[in-house]
A = this chain, B = another copy of it.
Protein backbone atom coordinates (compact mmCIF):
# COMPACT_ATOMS: atom_id res chain seq x y z
CA UNK A 1 0.00 0.00 0.00
CA UNK A 2 2.71 2.58 0.85
CA UNK A 3 4.23 1.88 -2.57
CA UNK A 4 1.10 2.79 -4.47
CA UNK A 5 0.63 5.84 -2.28
CA UNK A 6 4.24 7.02 -2.63
CA UNK A 7 3.67 9.40 -5.58
CA UNK A 8 0.91 11.01 -3.54
CA UNK A 9 2.94 11.24 -0.30
CA UNK A 10 3.39 15.03 -0.09
CA UNK A 11 -0.14 15.58 -1.33
CA UNK A 12 -1.47 13.33 1.44
CA UNK A 13 0.60 14.93 4.16
CA UNK A 14 -0.14 18.46 2.95
CA UNK A 15 -3.82 17.62 3.23
CA UNK A 16 -3.71 15.79 6.57
CA UNK A 17 -7.03 16.68 8.22
CA UNK A 18 -5.92 16.28 11.84
CA UNK A 19 -6.38 19.14 14.29
CA UNK A 20 -2.60 19.67 14.49
CA UNK A 21 -2.40 20.21 10.76
CA UNK A 22 -5.63 22.11 10.15
CA UNK A 23 -7.25 24.57 12.48
CA UNK A 24 -10.64 23.01 13.32
CA UNK A 25 -12.28 26.43 13.65
CA UNK A 26 -11.14 28.09 10.42
CA UNK A 27 -10.19 25.00 8.41
CA UNK A 28 -6.88 26.71 7.61
CA UNK A 29 -3.60 24.85 7.35
CA UNK A 30 -1.36 25.24 10.39
CA UNK A 31 2.00 24.32 8.88
CA UNK A 32 4.12 25.38 5.95
CA UNK A 33 5.20 23.02 3.21
CA UNK A 34 8.77 23.79 4.30
CA UNK A 35 8.01 22.44 7.79
CA UNK A 36 7.90 18.91 6.36
CA UNK A 37 11.12 16.84 6.12
CA UNK A 38 12.35 16.84 2.55
CA UNK A 39 12.80 13.05 2.70
CA UNK A 40 9.37 12.38 4.16
CA UNK A 41 7.95 8.94 3.39
CA UNK A 42 5.02 6.81 4.43
CA UNK A 43 6.24 4.29 7.04
CA UNK A 44 3.04 2.28 7.32
CA UNK A 45 -0.54 2.35 6.18
CA UNK A 46 -3.69 0.59 7.36
CA UNK A 47 -7.30 0.69 6.31
CA UNK A 48 -10.22 0.54 8.73
CA UNK A 49 -13.90 1.11 7.88
CA UNK A 50 -12.74 2.52 4.55
CA UNK A 51 -10.65 5.15 6.31
CA UNK A 52 -6.95 5.27 5.53
CA UNK A 53 -4.48 5.58 8.40
CA UNK A 54 -0.88 6.53 7.72
CA UNK A 55 2.19 6.55 9.90
CA UNK A 56 4.83 8.92 8.56
CA UNK A 57 8.61 8.62 8.70
CA UNK A 58 8.68 11.63 11.07
CA UNK A 59 6.27 9.93 13.46
CA UNK A 60 3.17 11.94 12.55
CA UNK A 61 -0.07 9.99 12.10
CA UNK A 62 -2.81 10.91 9.65
CA UNK A 63 -6.28 9.52 9.19
CA UNK A 64 -8.26 10.18 6.00
CA UNK A 65 -11.97 9.45 5.58
CA UNK A 66 -13.13 6.93 3.00
CA UNK A 67 -13.88 9.42 0.22
CA UNK A 68 -10.66 11.39 0.55
CA UNK A 69 -8.58 9.89 -2.23
CA UNK A 70 -9.56 10.64 -5.82
CA UNK A 71 -10.11 7.71 -8.14
CA UNK A 72 -6.70 6.00 -8.54
CA UNK A 73 -6.02 7.30 -12.05
CA UNK A 74 -6.54 10.89 -10.99
CA UNK A 75 -8.92 13.01 -13.02
CA UNK A 76 -9.26 11.38 -16.45
CA UNK A 77 -8.65 14.64 -18.26
CA UNK A 78 -6.66 17.18 -16.32
CA UNK A 79 -8.26 19.97 -18.36
CA UNK A 80 -11.58 18.97 -16.87
CA UNK A 81 -10.29 18.23 -13.39
CA UNK A 82 -11.84 19.76 -10.33
CA UNK A 83 -8.82 22.05 -9.88
CA UNK A 84 -9.73 24.28 -12.73
CA UNK A 85 -10.09 28.00 -13.27
CA UNK A 86 -13.83 28.46 -13.55
CA UNK A 87 -13.49 31.93 -14.98
CA UNK A 88 -12.26 30.58 -18.32
CA UNK A 89 -14.46 29.56 -21.23
CA UNK A 90 -14.26 26.05 -19.83
CA UNK A 91 -16.63 26.96 -17.00
CA UNK A 92 -19.10 28.81 -19.26
CA UNK A 93 -21.86 28.17 -21.76
CA UNK A 94 -20.99 30.19 -24.85
CA UNK A 95 -24.00 31.51 -26.75
CA UNK A 96 -25.36 33.40 -29.69
CA UNK A 97 -28.63 35.32 -29.84
CA UNK A 98 -30.74 32.44 -31.19
CA UNK A 99 -29.96 30.39 -28.07
CA UNK A 100 -32.32 32.71 -26.19
CA UNK A 101 -35.15 32.57 -28.74
CA UNK A 102 -37.36 31.16 -25.99
CA UNK A 103 -36.41 33.92 -23.58
CA UNK A 104 -33.43 35.35 -21.75
CA UNK A 105 -32.44 34.44 -18.18
CA UNK A 106 -34.65 36.62 -16.03
CA UNK A 107 -36.51 36.70 -12.75
CA UNK A 108 -38.90 38.87 -10.88
CA UNK A 109 -37.23 41.00 -8.23
CA UNK A 110 -39.69 40.02 -5.51
CA UNK A 111 -39.29 36.30 -6.27
CA UNK A 112 -35.51 36.78 -6.33
CA UNK A 113 -35.66 38.35 -2.90
CA UNK A 114 -38.04 35.83 -1.36
CA UNK A 115 -36.84 32.54 -2.80
CA UNK A 116 -33.25 31.34 -2.45
CA UNK A 117 -33.75 28.92 -5.35
CA UNK A 118 -34.78 31.78 -7.64
CA UNK A 119 -31.83 33.81 -6.48
CA UNK A 120 -29.46 30.91 -7.12
CA UNK A 121 -30.91 30.50 -10.63
CA UNK A 122 -30.23 34.14 -11.45
CA UNK A 123 -26.68 34.06 -10.12
CA UNK A 124 -26.00 30.78 -11.91
CA UNK A 125 -27.15 32.39 -15.16
CA UNK A 126 -24.64 35.21 -14.66
CA UNK A 127 -21.94 32.63 -13.93
CA UNK A 128 -22.81 30.44 -16.91
CA UNK A 129 -24.19 32.76 -19.62
CA UNK A 130 -22.65 35.97 -18.35
CA UNK A 131 -25.91 37.80 -17.64
CA UNK A 132 -29.42 37.84 -16.22
CA UNK A 133 -32.18 40.43 -16.03
CA UNK A 134 -34.18 41.25 -12.93
CA UNK A 135 -37.63 42.65 -13.61
CA UNK A 136 -39.66 44.87 -11.35
CA UNK A 137 -36.78 46.39 -9.37
CA UNK A 138 -38.43 49.62 -8.13
CA UNK A 139 -37.41 52.39 -10.51
CA UNK A 140 -35.99 54.54 -7.74
CA UNK A 141 -32.57 56.20 -7.67
CA UNK A 142 -29.96 54.18 -5.83
CA UNK A 143 -31.79 50.86 -5.96
CA UNK A 144 -29.12 49.35 -8.18
CA UNK A 145 -26.78 49.40 -5.17
CA UNK A 146 -29.27 47.33 -3.20
CA UNK A 147 -29.37 44.81 -6.04
CA UNK A 148 -25.57 44.52 -6.02
CA UNK A 149 -25.54 44.09 -2.23
CA UNK A 150 -27.71 40.96 -2.56
CA UNK A 151 -24.73 39.08 -3.97
CA UNK A 152 -21.56 41.04 -3.40
CA UNK A 153 -19.78 44.29 -2.81
CA UNK A 154 -20.05 47.41 -4.91
CA UNK A 155 -16.74 48.36 -6.50
CA UNK A 156 -16.33 52.12 -6.44
CA UNK A 157 -14.59 53.75 -9.42
CA UNK A 158 -13.78 57.26 -10.64
CA UNK A 159 -17.42 57.40 -11.82
CA UNK A 160 -18.56 57.09 -8.20
CA UNK A 161 -20.20 54.30 -6.27
CA UNK A 162 -23.17 54.70 -8.60
CA UNK A 163 -23.24 56.37 -12.01
CA UNK A 164 -26.05 57.86 -14.04
CA UNK A 165 -26.25 56.95 -17.71
CA UNK A 166 -28.12 59.83 -19.31
CA UNK A 167 -27.33 62.88 -21.36
CA UNK A 168 -25.02 65.11 -19.34
CA UNK A 169 -24.10 68.73 -20.14
CA UNK A 170 -20.32 68.18 -19.90
CA UNK A 171 -19.81 64.45 -20.37
CA UNK A 172 -16.39 62.96 -19.56
CA UNK A 173 -17.51 59.79 -21.36
CA UNK A 174 -19.55 59.16 -24.50
CA UNK A 175 -21.81 56.93 -22.41
CA UNK A 176 -23.24 60.16 -21.00
CA UNK A 177 -24.43 61.44 -24.41
CA UNK A 178 -27.18 60.22 -26.73
CA UNK A 179 -24.69 58.65 -29.16
CA UNK A 180 -24.85 55.01 -30.25
CA UNK A 181 -22.29 52.89 -28.46
CA UNK A 182 -20.89 49.83 -30.20
CA UNK A 183 -20.36 46.58 -28.26
CA UNK A 184 -17.71 47.10 -25.62
CA UNK A 185 -16.61 46.19 -22.13
CA UNK A 186 -16.40 48.88 -19.47
CA UNK A 187 -13.37 50.24 -17.68
CA UNK A 188 -10.67 48.36 -19.59
CA UNK A 189 -8.31 51.05 -18.29
CA UNK A 190 -8.82 49.80 -14.75
CA UNK A 191 -6.66 46.95 -13.51
CA UNK A 192 -8.19 44.93 -12.02
CA UNK A 193 -11.16 45.67 -14.24
CA UNK A 194 -14.53 45.57 -12.43
CA UNK A 195 -15.71 42.06 -13.23
CA UNK A 196 -19.46 42.70 -12.95
CA UNK A 197 -21.68 45.50 -14.09
CA UNK A 198 -25.28 46.34 -13.23
CA UNK A 199 -27.50 48.68 -15.22
CA UNK A 200 -30.87 49.58 -13.76
CA UNK A 201 -33.40 51.36 -15.96
CA UNK A 202 -35.30 54.18 -14.26
CA UNK A 203 -36.79 55.66 -17.41
CA UNK A 204 -36.65 54.86 -21.11
CA UNK A 205 -39.13 56.94 -23.02
CA UNK A 206 -36.64 57.96 -25.72
CA UNK A 207 -36.90 56.84 -29.32
CA UNK A 208 -33.98 54.46 -29.73
CA UNK A 209 -31.71 53.61 -26.82
CA UNK A 210 -32.19 49.83 -27.16
CA UNK A 211 -29.67 47.50 -25.57
CA UNK A 212 -27.65 44.61 -26.89
CA UNK A 213 -25.31 42.05 -25.39
CA UNK A 214 -22.66 40.01 -27.18
CA UNK A 215 -20.87 36.98 -25.75
CA UNK A 216 -17.26 38.15 -26.04
CA UNK A 217 -15.98 34.64 -25.28
CA UNK A 218 -18.00 33.34 -28.21
CA UNK A 219 -16.66 36.09 -30.45
CA UNK A 220 -13.10 35.27 -29.36
CA UNK A 221 -13.70 31.56 -29.90
CA UNK A 222 -14.94 32.30 -33.43
CA UNK A 223 -11.82 34.35 -34.08
CA UNK A 224 -9.68 31.46 -32.86
CA UNK A 225 -11.53 29.03 -35.15
CA UNK A 226 -11.49 31.29 -38.21
CA UNK A 227 -8.13 32.99 -37.85
CA UNK A 228 -5.92 31.30 -35.26
CA UNK A 229 -2.95 33.56 -35.95
CA UNK A 230 -5.05 36.67 -35.38
CA UNK A 231 -6.37 35.20 -32.15
CA UNK A 232 -2.85 34.41 -30.97
CA UNK A 233 -1.69 37.93 -31.87
CA UNK A 234 -4.47 39.55 -29.86
CA UNK A 235 -3.75 37.39 -26.81
CA UNK A 236 -0.12 38.50 -26.68
CA UNK A 237 -0.26 42.16 -27.74
CA UNK A 238 -0.77 44.63 -24.90
CA UNK A 239 -3.09 47.47 -25.90
CA UNK A 240 -3.01 50.82 -24.08
CA UNK A 241 -6.45 51.55 -22.60
CA UNK A 242 -6.60 55.06 -21.20
CA UNK A 243 -9.08 57.25 -19.38
CA UNK A 244 -8.25 60.77 -18.42
CA UNK A 245 -10.10 63.66 -16.87
CA UNK A 246 -9.21 66.37 -14.40
CA UNK A 247 -8.90 64.01 -11.44
CA UNK A 248 -8.12 60.74 -13.15
CA UNK A 249 -5.36 59.25 -15.25
CA UNK A 250 -6.00 55.55 -15.67
CA UNK A 251 -4.00 53.34 -17.96
CA UNK A 252 -3.84 49.59 -18.40
CA UNK A 253 -1.73 47.89 -21.06
CA UNK A 254 -3.48 44.58 -21.52
CA UNK A 255 -4.33 42.31 -24.45
CA UNK A 256 -7.79 42.40 -25.99
CA UNK A 257 -8.12 38.70 -25.23
CA UNK A 258 -6.63 37.17 -22.12
CA UNK A 259 -6.03 33.45 -21.92
CA UNK A 260 -5.13 31.18 -19.03
CA UNK A 261 -1.85 29.19 -19.07
CA UNK A 262 -3.66 26.47 -21.02
CA UNK A 263 -4.66 28.92 -23.74
CA UNK A 264 -8.33 29.09 -22.79
CA UNK A 265 -10.19 32.39 -23.10
CA UNK A 266 -10.41 34.02 -19.70
CA UNK A 267 -11.13 37.70 -20.17
CA UNK A 268 -12.06 40.01 -23.03
CA UNK A 269 -11.36 43.77 -23.04
CA UNK A 270 -12.87 45.59 -25.94
CA UNK A 271 -13.46 49.31 -25.97
CA UNK A 272 -12.51 51.17 -29.08
CA UNK A 273 -13.25 54.55 -27.47
CA UNK A 274 -10.47 54.28 -24.96
CA UNK A 275 -7.63 52.71 -26.95
CA UNK A 276 -4.72 55.12 -27.07
CA UNK A 277 -1.88 55.12 -29.58
CA UNK A 278 -0.41 51.64 -29.51
CA UNK A 279 3.36 51.62 -29.92
CA UNK A 280 4.59 48.59 -31.81
CA UNK A 281 7.48 48.00 -34.20
CA UNK A 282 6.22 49.24 -37.56
CA UNK A 283 6.18 45.77 -39.09
CA UNK A 284 3.74 44.59 -36.41
CA UNK A 285 1.23 47.41 -36.89
CA UNK A 286 -0.57 46.14 -39.97
CA UNK A 287 -0.99 42.56 -38.65
CA UNK A 288 -2.27 43.92 -35.34
CA UNK A 289 -4.79 46.19 -37.02
CA UNK A 290 -5.97 43.38 -39.30
CA UNK A 291 -6.54 41.09 -36.32
CA UNK A 292 -8.19 43.81 -34.24
CA UNK A 293 -10.51 44.66 -37.13
CA UNK A 294 -11.41 41.02 -37.70
CA UNK A 295 -12.29 40.59 -34.03
CA UNK A 296 -14.35 43.82 -34.09
CA UNK A 297 -16.21 42.56 -37.17
CA UNK A 298 -17.07 39.32 -35.41
CA UNK A 299 -18.51 41.20 -32.41
CA UNK A 300 -20.82 43.04 -34.82
CA UNK A 301 -22.25 39.94 -36.51
CA UNK A 302 -26.05 40.11 -36.25
CA UNK A 303 -26.33 36.53 -35.02
CA UNK A 304 -24.18 37.42 -32.02
CA UNK A 305 -26.20 40.49 -30.99
CA UNK A 306 -28.78 39.73 -28.35
CA UNK A 307 -31.00 42.81 -28.62
CA UNK A 308 -33.56 43.81 -26.01
CA UNK A 309 -35.01 46.93 -24.54
CA UNK A 310 -34.65 47.85 -20.90
CA UNK A 311 -37.86 49.23 -19.45
CA UNK A 312 -38.30 51.00 -16.13
CA UNK A 313 -37.58 48.56 -13.31
CA UNK A 314 -35.36 46.25 -15.37
CA UNK A 315 -31.89 45.64 -14.03
CA UNK A 316 -29.37 43.73 -16.10
CA UNK A 317 -26.41 42.12 -14.31
CA UNK A 318 -23.54 41.03 -16.51
CA UNK A 319 -20.00 39.74 -16.51
CA UNK A 320 -17.87 42.66 -17.65
CA UNK A 321 -14.88 40.40 -18.35
CA UNK A 322 -16.89 38.45 -20.91
CA UNK A 323 -19.98 40.19 -22.28
CA UNK A 324 -19.85 43.23 -24.52
CA UNK A 325 -22.75 45.63 -24.16
CA UNK A 326 -24.05 48.18 -26.64
CA UNK A 327 -26.85 50.63 -27.16
CA UNK A 328 -28.43 52.25 -30.18
CA UNK A 329 -28.50 56.04 -30.46
CA UNK A 330 -31.54 57.77 -29.02
CA UNK A 331 -33.36 61.05 -29.51
CA UNK A 332 -31.59 63.57 -27.32
CA UNK A 333 -34.82 65.07 -26.04
CA UNK A 334 -36.32 61.70 -25.00
CA UNK A 335 -35.93 60.79 -21.37
CA UNK A 336 -33.59 57.85 -20.90
CA UNK A 337 -32.02 57.29 -17.53
CA UNK A 338 -30.15 54.25 -16.32
CA UNK A 339 -28.19 53.93 -13.11
CA UNK A 340 -25.25 51.63 -12.99
CA UNK A 341 -22.65 50.28 -10.63
CA UNK A 342 -19.83 47.76 -10.65
CA UNK A 343 -19.21 44.74 -8.47
CA UNK A 344 -17.12 41.59 -8.64
CA UNK A 345 -17.63 38.02 -9.74
CA UNK A 346 -15.94 36.49 -6.70
CA UNK A 347 -18.64 37.82 -4.39
CA UNK A 348 -21.36 36.56 -6.72
CA UNK A 349 -19.75 33.13 -6.96
CA UNK A 350 -19.42 32.96 -3.19
CA UNK A 351 -23.06 33.92 -2.67
CA UNK A 352 -24.15 31.27 -5.15
CA UNK A 353 -21.94 28.62 -3.53
CA UNK A 354 -23.37 29.47 -0.11
CA UNK A 355 -26.94 29.29 -1.49
CA UNK A 356 -26.13 25.91 -3.01
CA UNK A 357 -24.52 24.74 0.22
CA UNK A 358 -27.60 25.81 2.18
CA UNK A 359 -29.98 24.13 -0.26
CA UNK A 360 -27.88 20.96 0.01
CA UNK A 361 -28.03 21.19 3.81
CA UNK A 362 -31.83 21.48 3.71
CA UNK A 363 -31.97 18.52 1.34
CA UNK A 364 -29.78 16.54 3.69
CA UNK A 365 -31.93 17.45 6.69
CA UNK A 366 -35.05 16.48 4.80
CA UNK A 367 -33.45 13.13 3.89
CA UNK A 368 -32.48 12.58 7.51
CA UNK A 369 -36.02 13.32 8.69
CA UNK A 370 -37.48 11.02 6.06
CA UNK A 371 -34.85 8.28 6.33
CA UNK A 372 -33.10 7.65 9.61
CA UNK A 373 -35.54 9.91 11.43
CA UNK A 374 -38.46 7.67 10.58
CA UNK A 375 -36.95 4.91 12.76
CA UNK A 376 -37.99 4.14 16.31
CA UNK A 377 -36.95 6.65 19.00
CA UNK A 378 -35.47 5.00 22.05
CA UNK A 379 -38.66 3.29 23.08
CA UNK A 380 -40.88 6.38 22.69
CA UNK A 381 -44.21 5.97 20.87
CA UNK A 382 -43.21 8.39 18.12
CA UNK A 383 -40.34 8.29 15.64
CA UNK A 384 -37.45 10.73 16.02
CA UNK A 385 -38.76 12.75 13.08
CA UNK A 386 -42.30 12.88 14.51
CA UNK A 387 -40.89 13.95 17.84
CA UNK A 388 -38.90 16.85 16.34
CA UNK A 389 -41.75 17.91 14.04
CA UNK A 390 -44.08 17.97 17.05
CA UNK A 391 -41.63 20.06 19.05
CA UNK A 392 -41.48 22.55 16.20
CA UNK A 393 -45.26 22.67 15.88
CA UNK A 394 -45.60 23.30 19.62
CA UNK A 395 -43.03 26.11 19.42
CA UNK A 396 -44.90 27.66 16.52
CA UNK A 397 -48.24 27.39 18.32
CA UNK A 398 -46.67 29.12 21.31
CA UNK A 399 -45.76 32.03 19.01
CA UNK A 400 -42.04 31.42 19.42
CA UNK A 401 -39.49 33.35 17.36
CA UNK A 402 -38.35 31.64 14.14
CA UNK A 403 -34.98 30.83 15.72
CA UNK A 404 -36.67 28.87 18.51
CA UNK A 405 -39.01 27.07 16.10
CA UNK A 406 -35.90 25.97 14.21
CA UNK A 407 -34.15 24.98 17.44
CA UNK A 408 -37.16 22.89 18.44
CA UNK A 409 -37.30 21.30 14.99
CA UNK A 410 -33.61 20.43 14.95
CA UNK A 411 -32.87 19.85 18.63
CA UNK A 412 -32.11 16.13 18.29
CA UNK A 413 -30.36 16.31 14.95
CA UNK A 414 -27.18 15.21 16.71
CA UNK A 415 -28.74 11.75 17.05
CA UNK A 416 -28.51 11.29 13.29
CA UNK A 417 -25.33 9.50 12.34
CA UNK A 418 -25.08 11.41 9.04
CA UNK A 419 -24.45 14.54 11.04
CA UNK A 420 -21.16 13.42 12.43
CA UNK A 421 -18.61 14.03 9.72
CA UNK A 422 -15.48 12.04 9.24
CA UNK A 423 -13.42 15.02 10.31
CA UNK A 424 -15.30 15.41 13.57
CA UNK A 425 -14.84 11.73 14.35
CA UNK A 426 -11.15 11.96 13.54
CA UNK A 427 -10.76 14.89 15.83
CA UNK A 428 -12.19 12.68 18.57
CA UNK A 429 -15.01 15.13 19.09
CA UNK A 430 -17.41 14.19 21.83
CA UNK A 431 -20.51 12.62 20.39
CA UNK A 432 -22.96 13.94 22.96
CA UNK A 433 -25.88 14.71 20.73
CA UNK A 434 -26.57 18.26 21.88
CA UNK A 435 -23.03 19.48 21.17
CA UNK A 436 -22.67 17.46 18.00
CA UNK A 437 -25.94 18.77 16.65
CA UNK A 438 -25.21 22.37 17.60
CA UNK A 439 -21.69 22.25 16.13
CA UNK A 440 -22.94 20.72 12.92
CA UNK A 441 -25.78 23.21 12.57
CA UNK A 442 -23.41 26.13 13.24
CA UNK A 443 -22.20 25.67 9.65
CA UNK A 444 -25.47 27.28 8.57
CA UNK A 445 -27.25 28.77 11.57
CA UNK A 446 -26.37 31.45 14.07
CA UNK A 447 -26.18 31.00 17.86
CA UNK A 448 -29.86 31.92 18.35
CA UNK A 449 -30.63 28.56 16.73
CA UNK A 450 -27.67 26.47 17.83
CA UNK A 451 -27.24 27.49 21.46
CA UNK A 452 -30.69 26.39 22.74
CA UNK A 453 -29.91 23.06 21.05
CA UNK A 454 -26.51 22.89 22.71
CA UNK A 455 -28.13 23.54 26.09
CA UNK A 456 -31.30 21.45 25.76
CA UNK A 457 -29.84 18.50 27.65
CA UNK A 458 -28.46 20.80 30.32
CA UNK A 459 -31.93 22.37 30.53
CA UNK A 460 -33.36 18.97 31.44
CA UNK A 461 -30.79 18.48 34.20
CA UNK A 462 -31.58 22.00 35.39
CA UNK A 463 -35.35 21.51 35.42
CA UNK A 464 -34.97 18.20 37.30
CA UNK A 465 -33.22 20.16 40.04
CA UNK A 466 -35.41 23.26 40.29
CA UNK A 467 -38.82 21.65 39.51
CA UNK A 468 -39.36 18.34 41.30
CA UNK A 469 -42.69 17.93 39.44
CA UNK A 470 -40.84 18.13 36.16
CA UNK A 471 -38.66 15.19 37.00
CA UNK A 472 -41.59 13.16 38.29
CA UNK A 473 -43.30 13.55 34.90
CA UNK A 474 -40.34 12.30 32.81
CA UNK A 475 -40.99 9.29 30.59
CA UNK A 476 -39.20 6.10 31.51
CA UNK A 477 -36.83 6.47 28.56
CA UNK A 478 -36.11 10.07 29.51
CA UNK A 479 -35.42 9.17 33.14
CA UNK A 480 -32.97 6.56 31.85
CA UNK A 481 -31.13 9.01 29.60
CA UNK A 482 -31.02 11.56 32.45
CA UNK A 483 -28.60 9.26 34.23
CA UNK A 484 -26.48 8.85 31.09
CA UNK A 485 -26.47 12.63 30.76
CA UNK A 486 -25.05 13.12 34.26
CA UNK A 487 -28.16 13.30 36.44
CA UNK A 488 -29.79 16.43 37.90
CA UNK A 489 -27.61 19.50 38.41
CA UNK A 490 -26.28 20.40 41.83
CA UNK A 491 -27.68 23.68 43.20
CA UNK A 492 -24.47 25.45 42.15
CA UNK A 493 -24.62 23.97 38.63
CA UNK A 494 -28.27 25.03 38.35
CA UNK A 495 -27.40 28.60 39.32
CA UNK A 496 -24.58 28.67 36.75
CA UNK A 497 -26.93 27.38 34.10
CA UNK A 498 -29.64 29.93 34.89
CA UNK A 499 -27.06 32.69 34.47
CA UNK A 500 -26.22 31.65 30.87
CA UNK A 501 -27.57 34.07 28.26
CA UNK A 502 -29.41 31.31 26.36
CA UNK A 503 -30.84 29.52 29.42
CA UNK A 504 -34.46 30.69 29.01
CA UNK A 505 -34.53 29.68 25.34
CA UNK A 506 -33.02 26.31 26.14
CA UNK A 507 -35.67 25.71 28.83
CA UNK A 508 -38.43 26.63 26.35
CA UNK A 509 -37.04 24.17 23.78
CA UNK A 510 -36.79 21.56 26.53
CA UNK A 511 -40.45 21.90 27.42
CA UNK A 512 -41.54 21.48 23.78
CA UNK A 513 -39.12 18.56 23.54
CA UNK A 514 -40.75 16.90 26.53
CA UNK A 515 -44.26 17.52 25.23
CA UNK A 516 -43.53 16.26 21.73
CA UNK A 517 -44.15 12.57 22.21
CA UNK A 518 -47.85 12.32 21.33
CA UNK A 519 -48.54 9.49 18.85
CA UNK A 520 -51.92 11.08 17.95
CA UNK A 521 -50.68 14.57 17.12
CA UNK A 522 -50.88 15.51 13.41
CA UNK A 523 -48.29 18.17 12.52
CA UNK A 524 -46.78 19.64 9.34
CA UNK A 525 -43.87 17.77 7.72
CA UNK A 526 -40.31 18.95 7.27
CA UNK A 527 -41.01 20.65 3.93
CA UNK A 528 -43.25 23.18 5.69
CA UNK A 529 -40.20 24.51 7.57
CA UNK A 530 -37.85 24.90 4.63
CA UNK A 531 -38.63 28.59 3.96
CA UNK A 532 -38.22 29.40 7.65
CA UNK A 533 -34.91 27.51 7.80
CA UNK A 534 -33.69 29.07 4.55
CA UNK A 535 -34.49 32.54 5.88
CA UNK A 536 -32.65 31.83 9.14
CA UNK A 537 -29.61 30.58 7.23
CA UNK A 538 -29.48 33.88 5.35
CA UNK A 539 -29.83 36.04 8.43
Residues of A within 8 A of B (CB): 7-11, 14-15, 23, 25-34, 36, 38, 70, 72-75, 78, 81-87, 153-158, 170-174, 179, 182, 189-193, 195, 235-240, 244-255, 260-262, 272-275, 277-286, 289, 292-293, 296-297, 300, 344-346, 349-350, 353-354, 357, 442-444, 446
Chain B residues, Cβ within 8 Å of A153: 155-157
CB-based contact B83/A240 at 8 Å: yes
Chain B residues, Cβ within 8 Å of A240: 82-83
Known contacts: A33-B292, A34-B297, A74-B281. The answer to whether A253 contacts B86 by CB under 8 A is yes
CB-based contact A78/B280 at 8 Å: yes
Q: A25–B10 Cα gap in the complex (Å)?
A: 60
Chain B residues, Cβ within 8 Å of A286: 7, 9-10
Partner of A32, one of B182, B274, B443: B182
Q: A254–B266 Cα gap in the complex (Å)?
A: 12
Chain B residues, Cβ within 8 Å of A31: 272
A534 → chain B, closest Cβ, in Å? 14
Partner of A7, one of B193, B247, B282: B282
Q: Which of A172, A239, A246, A274 has the most CB of B within 10 A?
A: A246
Nearest-neighbor residue (CB-CB) of A242 within chain B: B27
A82 → chain B, closest Cβ, in Å? 5
Chain B residues, Cβ within 8 Å of A250: 346, 349-350
Nearest-neighbor residue (CB-CB) of A286 within chain B: B7
Chain B residues, Cβ within 8 Å of A14: 275, 289
CB-based contact A285/B346 at 8 Å: no
Partner of A85, one of B8, B84, B238: B238
Nearest-neighbor residue (CB-CB) of A248 within chain B: B350
A119 → chain B, closest Cβ, in Å? 14
Known contacts: A32-B182, A174-B26, A191-B345. The answer to whether A249 contacts B354 by CB under 8 A is yes
Chain B residues, Cβ within 8 Å of A275: 14, 29
CB-based contact A293/B33 at 8 Å: yes
Chain B residues, Cβ within 8 Å of A237: 261
Chain B residues, Cβ within 8 Å of A174: 23, 26, 28, 30
Q: A81–B276 Cα gap in the complex (Å)?
A: 14
CB-based contact B28/A274 at 8 Å: yes
Chain B residues, Cβ within 8 Å of A277: 11, 15
Chain B residues, Cβ within 8 Å of A26: 171-174, 245
CB-based contact B34/A285 at 8 Å: no
CB-based contact B254/A85 at 8 Å: yes
22 A-B Cβ contacts within 8 A? A8-B282, A10-B286, A11-B277, A14-B275, A14-B289, A28-B273, A29-B273, A32-B182, A33-B296, A36-B293, A74-B280, A78-B284, A155-B155, A192-B193, A192-B346, A236-B262, A238-B261, A246-B444, A249-B353, A249-B357, A250-B350, A255-B261
